Structure 1
Amino acid sequence: MRIPVRLFRAAILGLMAAGLSGCGLFSSPDARFDPAPLTDYTPTLSVATRWSVSIGSGGDYGFEPQLVGDTVYAATPSGAVAAVDLSSGALRWRAGDEPLQAGAGSDGRTTAVVTRQGMVVAYDAQGKEIWRSQAASAVNVPPTVGNGIVVVRTTDYRIQAFDESTGKLRWNVQRPGPALALRTSIRMAMVPNLLIAGMPNGRLLAVDTASGTVRWEGSVSASRGASDLERISDVVGEPLTIGPLLCGVSYQGRTSCFDVSQGGRAVWGQDVASATGMATDGQRLYIPDMRDVVRALDLKDGQEQWQQPALLNRRLSAPAVAGRAVAVGDYQGYLHFLSRVDGSLMARLQVGGGPITSALLATPRGVVVQTGSGNLMLVGVSD
């Protein structure tokens, strides 16, 4: 059973629910868990929308823009799949007309999405459909494309790789899974010859992309608690590789880094959990925690450098590094820019379109935002 992370976050914080099967947010009788109001600050960074283009309609977890070269690839639940020029926002191609559950993943040659029926659909560099193949079950995580394969992670805890040219199933890896798992901002990472995937049991896998052999498996966190809800410990966001380090963060768990040059030896761990993921500038990890306090951890030893509580309970997106700042989106469609040095508020921009659930995308030209209404936007940052 997979329930959107918003429901779990509310329940974990002790909010009252009408029922787990509902689609709406929980209401809270406790003001401690209300979103913090926007606070006054002195702007120290200039931010502005460079371009905006509608690529479809709707937004949800499982839909995150991806940059390959100078092209942004994105998809929306309404069925649109698009390639957009990063510099100008010009639409290079648009395809698709059936409702989607996840997308888009691309390596610039092949772009893949997944329909609500679990069908993996691949497009070529001009946006022409080239194949479709059925996944083992539903898919809520964007596909990852590279090393000659298209990879999906299904809701029955499988990782399946399809041949990038033909769509033929190349390999399949399955791990036992918990009774409950999140539907939140999650993405797999591709490095030369390896796929890095976070799993719902708090573990990271490194899988050989040619054979599907699991080369390494490590624990970001262990499940704790008396109930299925309390034991949820999904690895969220995208696993980060920084030099020899591989880092992951889990829901209701912790942040852990491993040294892949030494067989995946655990380097450090901190009890900082997240519902959406993290970003790095090569010196620090930036993580919105379970209460949306943004924290900066030193990459070398995990020691906390600063924390910023001004965005408490604002349901923050996965962050992105943007020049001197780290950016996060919130439930009202605001982008917030915090100083990488001390976490102070530097800038704020309303982009609209409802809650920002897609992870922000850092690019050389600024931050790409996919809004809840299906718009794709580039926000430039300057001193």
Structure 2
Amino acid sequence: MQVRKTLLVGLVSVTLLSGCSWFSSETDVVTMSPLPKVENQFSPNTVWSTSVGDGIGEYYSHLRPAWQDGKIYAADRNGVVKAMDAEKGSVAWTVNLAEKSGFFSSSAPALLSGGLAVSGDKVYVGSEKAVVYALSTSEGNVEWKTVVAGEAISRPVISDGMVLIHTSNGMLQALNESDGAIRWTVNLDMPSLSLRGESAPAIAYGAAIVGGDNGRVSAVLMQQGQMIWQQRISQPVGATEIDRLNDVDTTPVIVDGVVYALGYNGNLTALELRSGQVLWKREMGAVNDFIVDAGRIFLVDQKDRLVGLKSDGGVTLWTNSDLLHRNLTAPVLYNGYLVVGDSEGYLHWVNADDGRFVAQQKVDSSGFLSAPLVAGDKLVIQARGGKVYAITR
């Protein structure tokens, strides 16, 4: 059954965002929780905001800014990339990766996707057209661009002189950081139906650890592109194809020799880094990246519950169910608080110790899909409409 990811995500997104039944105008299948009433313990302050093109609009694209050395780098889906001063939001440079075509020199959008990554003197971004770009951080010049095996919808990861790209057709590729030449390709295998999203790899001890659409976590030697081990953390179950989805689209987290991985319709699992052996697992699914910090795990599950757990054994510390089906972003830790955005453009601040709300703010009516970014003393987030906001406590 060959079904494109875009179709599935369209169905899932419509359901989550609108709260309407797929089958009837009278029966709600999924209903967005009303905005919880929060008595702010402090007032978050928007320091600056800068528009970056048209954003992602209604597309399911996890474009997310990157930060390094006092600069914020952000892009829109059409191809506009900007470098901004992290203190004031002033624009240092702007480039447009849209390609000129046709008699009247119209522009074909670049279809950037998956988030930016910055390392050294280059900023990297991939596209739905299977092109990965490397731009200079100083002026935005295109240093190189490489056609990869499929849509580059995950965030590039840079390590050991290589840029790792996980493509939408299940390929993990390593490109030379210097010139973009492809060094190796590993086929991670994929089912006929999967969610639109790919796990960005995590790096440790010369290995890349990455989730796959087949419910497995794989470890690959960076230098040779050789598979070390694979471990299934999610088994397909259920009566329908959608019920049996078991993608591992989240980025694994590696702490003290333990790999934490999380699948959709699957399990939160702790694996031994060297062997891939399962240390413990907990039935819990998600598509958003999660946090492991100071012996705790923080995540947003696939029903938009905020959950805090112990990293040793996965015992639940607290659960916040007041934001169900608000299409939350992945969480970040900022100044000791968990912060998530939602599809209506609110930021929710939560006490990491007990899961209680401490602040709430309406930021942008176009809503959020990609997670906030901690950039020094600021919280940076890009709205669907393209505007980038820098916020402090």
Q: Match for residue 94 of structure 2?
A: 94
Report the Cα distance in structure 2 between the residues aligned to 1:206 and 1:84, rounded to whole angstroms: 36
Residue 333 of structure 1 and its aligned partner are, at CA, apart by 0.7
Q: Match for residue 236 of structure 1?
A: 249
CA contact (8 A) 1:61 1:183 kept: no
**What runs of 5+ residues in structure 2 fail to find an aligned partner?**
99-109
Report the Cα distance in structure 1 between the residues aligned to 2:389 and 2:25, rounded to whole angstroms: 33
SS at match of 1:183: coil
Q: Please tell me whether residue 8 in structure 1 is matched to residue 12 in structure 2.
A: yes
Report the Cα distance in structure 2 between the residues aligned to 1:377 and 1:276, rounded to whole angstroms: 21
SS at match of 1:52: strand
Q: How does 1:1-383 map to 2 (within 5 A)?
A: 1-3=4-6, 5=9, 7-8=11-12, 16-17=21-22, 29-31=26-28, 33-59=30-56, 60-98=60-98, 99-102=110-113, 103-126=115-138, 127-184=140-197, 186-191=199-204, 193-260=206-273, 262-381=274-393
Residue 36 of structure 1 and its aligned partner are, at CA, apart by 1.0
Report the Cα distance in structure 1 between the residues aligned to 2:184 and 2:38, rounded to whole angstroms: 52
Report the Cα distance in structure 2 between the residues aligned to 1:216 and 1:378, rounded to whole angstroms: 41
Residue 175 of structure 1 and its aligned partner are, at CA, apart by 2.2
Letter of the 1:320 counterpart = V
Cα deviation, 1:223-272, whole Å, max 9, x if unaligned, reads: 22233222211113322122322212111112112232x53332221111
Cα deviation, 1:345-367, whole Å, max 9, x if unaligned, reads: 11111111523111222343132
Compute the RMSD of aligned alpha carbons: 2.5
SS at match of 1:267: strand
Out of 181-190 and 159-168, give the one that drifted further: 181-190
Report the Cα distance in structure 2 between the residues aligned to 1:191 and 1:353, rounded to whole angstroms: 39
SS at match of 2:46: strand
CA contact (8 A) 1:161 1:170 kept: yes
Q: Match for residue 23 of structure 1?
A: none
With over 3 angstroms needed to count, the CA separation of the structure-2 counterparts of 1:372 and 1:273, relative to structure 1, is same
With over 3 angstroms needed to count, the CA separation of the structure-2 counterparts of 1:188 and 1:46, relative to structure 1, is farther
Cα deviation, 1:134-187, whole Å, max 9, x if unaligned, reads: 112222222222321122112221011111111211000002211112124843
With over 3 angstroms needed to count, the CA separation of the structure-2 counterparts of 1:295 and 1:203, relative to structure 1, is same
Report the Cα distance in structure 2 between the residues aligned to 1:247 and 1:362, rounded to whole angstroms: 22
Report the Cα distance in structure 1 between the residues aligned to 2:90 and 2:207, rounded to whole angstroms: 33
Out of 339-348 and 46-55, give the one that drifted further: 46-55
Residue 191 of structure 1 and its aligned partner are, at CA, apart by 4.0
**What runs of 5+ residues in structure 1 fail to find an aligned partner?**
19-26
Residue 73 of structure 1 and its aligned partner are, at CA, apart by 2.8
Report the Cα distance in structure 2 between the residues aligned to 1:225 and 1:274, rounded to whole angstroms: 17
Residue 69 of structure 1 and its aligned partner are, at CA, apart by 4.3
Residue 106 of structure 1 and its aligned partner are, at CA, apart by 2.1
Cα deviation, 1:95-147, whole Å, max 9, x if unaligned, reads: 23312232312213222222332122211232211111111222222222232
Out of 299-308 and 9-18, give the one that drifted further: 9-18
SS at match of 1:201: coil
Report the Cα distance in structure 1 between the residues aligned to 2:49 and 2:376, rounded to whole angstroms: 17
With over 3 angstroms needed to count, the CA separation of the structure-2 counterparts of 1:371 and 1:191, relative to structure 1, is farther
With over 3 angstroms needed to count, the CA separation of the structure-2 counterparts of 1:185 and 1:369, relative to structure 1, is farther
Report the Cα distance in structure 2 between the residues aligned to 1:346 and 1:17, rounded to whole angstroms: 35
Total equivalences in the alignment: 372
Report the Cα distance in structure 2 between the residues aligned to 1:215 and 1:85, rounded to whole angstroms: 42
CA contact (8 A) 2:166 2:198 kept: no
Out of 80-89 and 141-150, give the one that drifted further: 80-89
With over 3 angstroms needed to count, the CA separation of the structure-2 counterparts of 1:189 and 1:69, relative to structure 1, is farther
Report the Cα distance in structure 2 between the residues aligned to 1:187 and 1:241, rounded to whole angstroms: 13
Report the Cα distance in structure 2 between the residues aligned to 1:169 and 1:97, rounded to whole angstroms: 21
